[in-house]
Amino acid sequence: MEVIQTFPNGTTIEFGEDSHGNQVHRVCSPTGAMCRYVEPFPCALAYAQHYEESYAIKPPKEQDA
């Protein structure tokens, strides 16, 4: 697989072939703990957006004074 896009939070989209020789995109979460194989690039972008939102670094909550 070849990384073709890396997003700000670390989500990656890779392109290559699956075990059957089909050309697919692999979308991996920033931690690499979850990856999803999809064929069309628009689907890969949708999963990447989901991972980016799910793994977004949230600013610490401010405490009331």
Alpha helices in 1-65 (DSSP H): 41-54
Q: Are 44 and 13 in contact (CB under 8 A)?
A: yes
Residues of the chain with confidence (pLDDT) below 70: 58-65
DSSP E strands in 1-65: the ranges are 2-6, 12-17, 23-28, 35-38
Q: What's the predicted TM-score (pTM) here?
A: 0.80
Please give the pLDDT value at position 30: 92
Please give the pLDDT value at position 18: 87
Please give the pLDDT value at position 55: 85
